[in-house]
Amino acid sequence: MNIDIEEISKDFGTTAALHPVSLSIPSGTLVALLGPSGSGKTTLLRILGGLEFPTAGRVLFDASDATGLSVQERRAGFVFQSYALFRHMTVFDNIAYGLRARPRRSRPGGPEIARRVNRLLSLIKLPDIGARYPSQLSGGQRQRVALARALAIEPRMLLLDEPFGALDAKVRRELRQGLRDIHDTTGLTTVFVTHDQEEAMQLADLVVVMSMGRIEQVGRPEDIRARPGTEFVREFISA
Protein backbone atom coordinates (compact mmCIF):
# COMPACT_ATOMS: atom_id res chain seq x y z
CA MET A 1 0.00 0.00 0.00
CA ASN A 2 1.25 3.48 -0.88
CA ILE A 3 1.34 5.90 2.04
CA ASP A 4 1.33 9.64 1.47
CA ILE A 5 1.84 12.11 4.27
CA GLU A 6 0.78 15.63 3.31
CA GLU A 7 1.79 18.57 5.49
CA ILE A 8 1.16 16.70 8.74
CA SER A 9 1.73 18.70 11.93
CA LYS A 10 1.09 17.83 15.56
CA ASP A 11 0.99 20.07 18.62
CA PHE A 12 0.92 18.84 22.20
CA GLY A 13 -0.45 21.82 24.07
CA THR A 14 1.88 24.67 23.16
CA THR A 15 4.82 22.56 21.99
CA ALA A 16 5.00 21.41 18.38
CA ALA A 17 6.01 17.76 18.11
CA LEU A 18 5.83 17.87 14.32
CA HIS A 19 6.18 20.87 12.06
CA PRO A 20 4.38 20.32 8.78
CA VAL A 21 6.09 17.28 7.22
CA SER A 22 5.42 15.55 3.92
CA LEU A 23 6.57 12.13 2.81
CA SER A 24 5.72 9.61 0.12
CA ILE A 25 6.21 5.91 0.81
CA PRO A 26 5.89 3.62 -2.21
CA SER A 27 4.09 0.32 -1.72
CA GLY A 28 6.23 -2.50 -0.38
CA THR A 29 9.07 -0.32 0.88
CA LEU A 30 10.89 -0.92 4.15
CA VAL A 31 11.28 2.55 5.66
CA ALA A 32 13.30 3.67 8.67
CA LEU A 33 12.33 6.82 10.57
CA LEU A 34 15.71 7.74 12.02
CA GLY A 35 16.41 10.44 14.57
CA PRO A 36 17.35 11.25 18.15
CA SER A 37 14.73 11.19 20.90
CA GLY A 38 12.32 14.11 20.62
CA SER A 39 12.67 14.29 16.84
CA GLY A 40 9.00 13.43 16.29
CA LYS A 41 9.57 10.04 14.69
CA THR A 42 7.39 8.10 17.11
CA THR A 43 4.65 10.74 16.84
CA LEU A 44 4.66 10.35 13.06
CA LEU A 45 4.46 6.56 13.38
CA ARG A 46 1.54 6.81 15.83
CA ILE A 47 -0.27 9.17 13.48
CA LEU A 48 0.10 6.59 10.70
CA GLY A 49 -1.31 3.91 13.00
CA GLY A 50 -4.23 6.05 14.12
CA LEU A 51 -3.11 6.24 17.76
CA GLU A 52 -2.65 10.01 17.50
CA PHE A 53 -4.44 12.44 15.24
CA PRO A 54 -2.62 15.26 13.46
CA THR A 55 -3.34 18.90 14.28
CA ALA A 56 -3.31 19.62 10.54
CA GLY A 57 -2.56 17.81 7.31
CA ARG A 58 -3.67 14.59 5.62
CA VAL A 59 -2.66 10.95 5.44
CA LEU A 60 -3.45 9.07 2.23
CA PHE A 61 -3.51 5.29 1.87
CA ASP A 62 -3.40 4.33 -1.82
CA ALA A 63 -4.45 7.87 -2.71
CA SER A 64 -7.63 7.83 -0.58
CA ASP A 65 -7.89 10.06 2.49
CA ALA A 66 -7.28 8.03 5.67
CA THR A 67 -6.84 10.95 8.09
CA GLY A 68 -10.19 10.38 9.79
CA LEU A 69 -10.02 6.59 9.93
CA SER A 70 -10.16 5.17 13.45
CA VAL A 71 -7.32 3.04 14.76
CA GLN A 72 -9.41 -0.11 14.18
CA GLU A 73 -10.26 0.87 10.59
CA ARG A 74 -6.62 1.48 9.67
CA ARG A 75 -5.69 -2.20 9.99
CA ALA A 76 -2.08 -1.33 10.71
CA GLY A 77 0.00 -4.04 12.33
CA PHE A 78 1.68 -2.17 15.20
CA VAL A 79 4.65 -3.47 17.20
CA PHE A 80 5.15 -1.44 20.37
CA GLN A 81 8.45 -0.49 21.92
CA SER A 82 8.03 -2.75 24.94
CA TYR A 83 5.92 -5.12 22.80
CA ALA A 84 2.77 -4.64 24.93
CA LEU A 85 1.95 -8.36 24.90
CA PHE A 86 -1.20 -9.19 26.87
CA ARG A 87 0.41 -10.48 30.02
CA HIS A 88 -2.54 -12.53 31.21
CA MET A 89 -2.88 -14.46 27.94
CA THR A 90 -0.81 -17.26 26.45
CA VAL A 91 1.22 -16.62 23.30
CA PHE A 92 -1.46 -18.43 21.29
CA ASP A 93 -4.24 -16.22 22.67
CA ASN A 94 -2.11 -13.11 22.10
CA ILE A 95 -1.69 -13.92 18.42
CA ALA A 96 -5.33 -14.98 18.03
CA TYR A 97 -6.61 -11.77 19.68
CA GLY A 98 -7.05 -9.75 16.50
CA LEU A 99 -8.85 -12.57 14.70
CA ARG A 100 -11.23 -13.14 17.61
CA ALA A 101 -11.95 -9.40 17.83
CA ARG A 102 -13.35 -9.35 14.31
CA PRO A 103 -17.07 -8.91 13.76
CA ARG A 104 -18.89 -12.23 13.64
CA ARG A 105 -19.38 -12.35 9.89
CA SER A 106 -15.67 -12.02 9.10
CA ARG A 107 -14.41 -13.96 12.11
CA PRO A 108 -12.69 -17.26 11.25
CA GLY A 109 -13.79 -20.40 13.10
CA GLY A 110 -11.79 -21.99 15.91
CA PRO A 111 -9.85 -24.50 13.76
CA GLU A 112 -9.06 -21.83 11.17
CA ILE A 113 -7.77 -19.48 13.91
CA ALA A 114 -5.59 -22.29 15.28
CA ARG A 115 -4.25 -23.00 11.82
CA ARG A 116 -3.34 -19.37 11.21
CA VAL A 117 -1.75 -18.92 14.65
CA ASN A 118 0.37 -22.02 14.12
CA ARG A 119 1.43 -20.81 10.69
CA LEU A 120 2.52 -17.47 12.20
CA LEU A 121 4.37 -19.26 15.00
CA SER A 122 6.38 -21.17 12.41
CA LEU A 123 6.93 -17.96 10.41
CA ILE A 124 8.64 -16.42 13.45
CA LYS A 125 10.47 -19.73 13.99
CA LEU A 126 8.99 -20.37 17.42
CA PRO A 127 6.55 -23.22 16.68
CA ASP A 128 6.35 -24.65 20.21
CA ILE A 129 5.69 -21.70 22.49
CA GLY A 130 1.94 -21.26 22.00
CA ALA A 131 1.07 -22.36 25.53
CA ARG A 132 3.55 -20.09 27.31
CA TYR A 133 2.90 -16.73 28.94
CA PRO A 134 4.81 -13.58 27.90
CA SER A 135 6.65 -13.49 31.24
CA GLN A 136 8.18 -16.88 30.39
CA LEU A 137 9.77 -15.61 27.15
CA SER A 138 13.10 -13.93 26.44
CA GLY A 139 13.17 -10.40 25.04
CA GLY A 140 13.84 -11.58 21.51
CA GLN A 141 11.02 -14.12 21.67
CA ARG A 142 8.61 -11.47 22.91
CA GLN A 143 9.50 -9.20 20.02
CA ARG A 144 8.80 -11.97 17.52
CA VAL A 145 5.50 -12.83 19.18
CA ALA A 146 4.51 -9.15 18.99
CA LEU A 147 5.35 -9.24 15.28
CA ALA A 148 3.26 -12.38 14.76
CA ARG A 149 0.34 -10.82 16.65
CA ALA A 150 0.51 -7.76 14.40
CA LEU A 151 0.67 -9.92 11.27
CA ALA A 152 -2.31 -12.02 12.34
CA ILE A 153 -4.81 -9.30 11.43
CA GLU A 154 -3.61 -9.39 7.80
CA PRO A 155 -2.53 -5.77 8.11
CA ARG A 156 -2.30 -3.29 5.27
CA MET A 157 1.05 -2.07 6.62
CA LEU A 158 3.46 -2.85 9.41
CA LEU A 159 4.50 -0.16 11.90
CA LEU A 160 7.24 -0.84 14.45
CA ASP A 161 8.31 1.48 17.27
CA GLU A 162 11.99 0.86 18.18
CA PRO A 163 11.53 -2.85 17.55
CA PHE A 164 15.08 -3.76 18.57
CA GLY A 165 15.56 -1.19 21.32
CA ALA A 166 15.50 -3.45 24.36
CA LEU A 167 17.63 -6.30 23.00
CA ASP A 168 21.29 -7.22 23.25
CA ALA A 169 23.53 -6.85 20.21
CA LYS A 170 23.56 -10.47 19.05
CA VAL A 171 19.79 -10.95 19.26
CA ARG A 172 19.37 -7.59 17.57
CA ARG A 173 21.34 -8.70 14.51
CA GLU A 174 19.34 -11.91 14.22
CA LEU A 175 16.02 -10.16 14.51
CA ARG A 176 17.00 -7.51 11.97
CA GLN A 177 17.43 -10.27 9.42
CA GLY A 178 14.17 -11.79 10.68
CA LEU A 179 12.27 -8.56 10.02
CA ARG A 180 13.89 -8.20 6.60
CA ASP A 181 12.83 -11.77 5.72
CA ILE A 182 9.27 -11.25 6.94
CA HIS A 183 9.05 -8.01 5.01
CA ASP A 184 10.30 -9.70 1.84
CA THR A 185 7.90 -12.65 2.29
CA THR A 186 4.79 -10.58 2.97
CA GLY A 187 5.61 -7.61 0.74
CA LEU A 188 4.01 -5.29 3.32
CA THR A 189 4.84 -1.60 3.38
CA THR A 190 6.82 -1.42 6.62
CA VAL A 191 7.80 1.61 8.68
CA PHE A 192 10.03 1.31 11.73
CA VAL A 193 11.34 3.90 14.13
CA THR A 194 14.92 3.80 15.35
CA HIS A 195 17.59 6.04 16.82
CA ASP A 196 20.36 3.67 15.67
CA GLN A 197 21.76 4.91 12.35
CA GLU A 198 23.61 1.66 11.67
CA GLU A 199 20.37 -0.29 12.04
CA ALA A 200 18.51 2.09 9.72
CA MET A 201 21.23 2.03 7.09
CA GLN A 202 21.57 -1.76 7.07
CA LEU A 203 17.93 -2.70 7.12
CA ALA A 204 15.91 -0.06 5.29
CA ASP A 205 15.23 0.59 1.61
CA LEU A 206 14.47 4.20 2.42
CA VAL A 207 15.77 6.23 5.36
CA VAL A 208 13.96 9.30 6.68
CA VAL A 209 16.24 11.35 8.93
CA MET A 210 14.31 13.49 11.42
CA SER A 211 15.28 16.17 13.92
CA MET A 212 13.25 18.56 16.08
CA GLY A 213 9.95 17.67 14.42
CA ARG A 214 11.24 18.15 10.89
CA ILE A 215 12.36 15.81 8.12
CA GLU A 216 16.01 16.55 7.39
CA GLN A 217 16.53 14.19 4.49
CA VAL A 218 14.86 11.27 2.71
CA GLY A 219 16.85 8.85 0.62
CA ARG A 220 18.33 5.44 0.03
CA PRO A 221 20.95 4.55 2.67
CA GLU A 222 23.87 4.75 0.24
CA ASP A 223 22.73 8.15 -1.04
CA ILE A 224 22.37 9.57 2.43
CA ARG A 225 25.78 8.25 3.35
CA ALA A 226 27.35 9.62 0.15
CA ARG A 227 25.59 12.99 0.17
CA PRO A 228 24.29 14.08 3.57
CA GLY A 229 21.83 16.89 2.91
CA THR A 230 22.42 18.95 6.04
CA GLU A 231 25.01 19.42 8.74
CA PHE A 232 22.74 17.58 11.19
CA VAL A 233 22.52 14.51 8.95
CA ARG A 234 26.28 14.50 8.42
CA GLU A 235 26.88 14.53 12.16
CA PHE A 236 24.14 12.07 13.04
CA ILE A 237 25.17 9.36 10.58
CA SER A 238 28.84 9.65 11.42
CA ALA A 239 28.11 9.16 15.12
Partner 1 sequence: MTDTPAIPARPRPFRPATTEPALVKWSLIGLCLAVLTVLLFAPLYAVFDEALRRGWAFALASLSEPDAQSAIRLTLLVAAITVPLNAAFGIAAAWAITKFDWRGKAWVITFIDLPFSISPVVAGLLFILMFGANSALGMWLVANGLPVVFAVPGIVLATMFITFPFVARELIPVMLEQGRAEEEAALTLGASGWRTFLTVTLPNIRWALLYGVLLCNARAMGEFGAVAVVSGKIRGQTTTMPLMIEMFYNEYLSVAAFTMAGVLALLALVTLTLKSALEWRYADQLAATHRH
Scanning 32-40, 148-156, 196-204, 211-219 for contacts with partner 1 by CB under 8 A, the matching segment is 148-156
DSSP symbol at 14:
T
Contacts (CB under 8 A) with partner 1, residues 91-110 = 97-98, 101-102
Q: Does 50 bind partner 1 (CB under 8 A)?
A: yes
Q: What Cα–Cα distance (Å) separates residue 187 from each residue in 15, 29, 78, 148? A: 37, 8, 16, 15
Scanning 130-138, 198-206, 218-226, 228-236 for contacts with partner 1 by CB under 8 A, the matching segment is 130-138
Q: Which of 76, 120, 160, 193 binds partner 1 (CB under 8 A)?
A: 76
| Residues with Cβ within 8 Å of residue 88, at least 6 apart in sequence | 133
Q: Does 149 bind partner 1 (CB under 8 A)?
A: yes
Question: What does DSSP say about strands 76-79 and 206-211: parallel, antiparallel, or unpaired?
Answer: unpaired
Cα–Cα dist 11/158, whole Å: 25
Does residue 237 contact residue 201 with C-beta atoms inside 8 Å? yes
Residue 141 has a CB neighbour count (10 Å cut-off) of: 19
Nearer to partner 1 by C-beta: 85 or 224?
A: 85
Cα–Cα dist 116/84, whole Å: 21
Nearer to partner 1 by C-beta: 159 or 209?
A: 159
Q: Which of 20, 40, 49, 54 binds partner 1 (CB under 8 A)?
A: 49
Q: Cα torsion for 80, 82, 86, 92, to the nearest 10°?
A: 80
Q: Does 210 bind partner 1 (CB under 8 A)?
A: no
| Residues with Cβ within 8 Å of residue 193, at least 6 apart in sequence | 32, 33, 41, 42, 45, 160, 161, 162
Q: Which of 38, 86, 112, 125 binds partner 1 (CB under 8 A)?
A: 86
Scanning 14-22, 29-37, 83-91, 119-127 for contacts with partner 1 by CB under 8 A, the matching segment is 83-91
CB of 117 to partner 1, least distance (A): 13
Contacts (CB under 8 A) with partner 1, residues 53-72 = 71-72
Q: Does 3 bind partner 1 (CB under 8 A)?
A: no
Chain residues binding partner 1 by CB under 8 A are 49-51, 71-72, 74-78, 80-82, 84-88, 97-98, 101-102, 133-135, 149-150, 152-153
